Structure 1
């Protein structure tokens, strides 16, 4: 479904990614891990058109999206949840979710109901200002908003960042539910062990280049990967 081939990308004149390859199949759950500064989030942003495209090719559902703007890419069926500042704090939960369908003439009620089904607390608190919610609840709002257009692929950039330890498992459970509903996941995650434990396949990125690729359990079992990137 998603094919990234020999991607070079960065910010302005500063190149971060070198010859990166990556694929996500329909309904698959793929995780990118690696050390800080490896370019993990840059891969995610590059797929969504938020970096400077320098070469290579990105295809989605057989159509090239390399170099397209985010407002064009979203219409192809890709949703994106950034790591930081990912809710409109002064808007209510319901208004945040409705913003996820801004490109449509009207908000699809069936999509809203589907989000409430995945995140029941958002229905309970739909009139609450998003900025007054906990970090974990705000992350649910951000994911719910990205799901309003029923994307085929959801990009998640460090969804557990800043969450209290007791909320991290709940966040991963929510991602599992989204994936089990048929949405493919491409996720960058700091909690590498848990992410690899749950995903179908994983990529290890180092200094902007592919280092390892395998199914999640195989990467967890690889002694070199564990020693160099997973803390033993």
Structure 2
């Protein structure tokens, strides 16, 4: 069953249009990656779904709800979580306080959800009193994902989760995303490490100049000579 459906989406920033007629779907529990060259509009797709750009046309549907043009504070209540690439933690707050902020729309702090995050990312429990701004890049990324999981989203959108991580931490980050998906959360991922993203995902989209260029299973895109030559470095 389709969870997210993006249809003929036009969006950008102010008067500047970036996306033109973008189509995209994510089924319940599916893992989908968006890859493409720099400046293709990959992050703009994520921001547009989450209401952070100028909506210009088309539709975004989540479940049975048309969320086209919704504000982020309304979209988060529908079951979509979003982790941006930059500025994705509150540096002056502790780990625990960051997680509490992830549940700010609820009446109280769900201790069971915090424990679930700690169980998934044990380092966060060890450092629950540490200020987020003093943590390593990998730890901050875990915290950002943990905060987004506090509302138990049906779909988790991740923008460049491996950006800035040391090479030995990249595989661990992908493994953790796999585990989140294995537990039933659908994933929509934008990732600079295109080959690894396509190896892991169920389906992938190649975006070029704000438009769909290819859509196939991750394995099929990896095996496509033209895709490999043009977008994956051969």
Same fold (TM over 0.5): yes
Q: CA deviation at 1:109?
A: 1.0
Structure 2 residue matching 1:87: 3-state secondary structure: coil
Aligned length: 232
Q: Which residue of the partner structure matches residue 99 of structure 1?
A: 101
Aligned to 1:213: 215
Q: Distance in 2 between matches of 1:213 and 1:102?
A: 37
Residue 138 of structure 2 aligns to a residue whose secondary structure is: helix
* TM-superposition CA deviations, 1:29-52 (whole Å, max 9, x none): 000000000000000000000000
Supply the distance in 2 between the matched residues of 1:115 and 1:181 (Cα, whole angstroms): 13
The aligned residue for residue 79 of structure 1 is: 81
Which 5+ residue runs of structure 2 have no aligned equivalent? Answer: none
1:194 corresponds in structure 2 to: 196
Q: C-alpha distance in 2, partners of 1:107/1:221?
A: 46
Residue pairs, 1:29-48, within 5 angstroms: 29-48=31-50
Q: Distance in 1 between matches of 2:64 and 2:229?
A: 38
> 4+ runs of 1 displaced by more than 3 Å?
none
Within 5 Å, give how 1:108-187 maps onto structure 2. Answer: 108-187=110-189
* Structure 1: gaps (5+ residues): none
Give 1:221 deviation, angstroms.
Answer: 0.5
How far apart are the structure 2 equivalents of 1:9 and 1:22?
A: 14
RMSD between aligned residues: 0.5
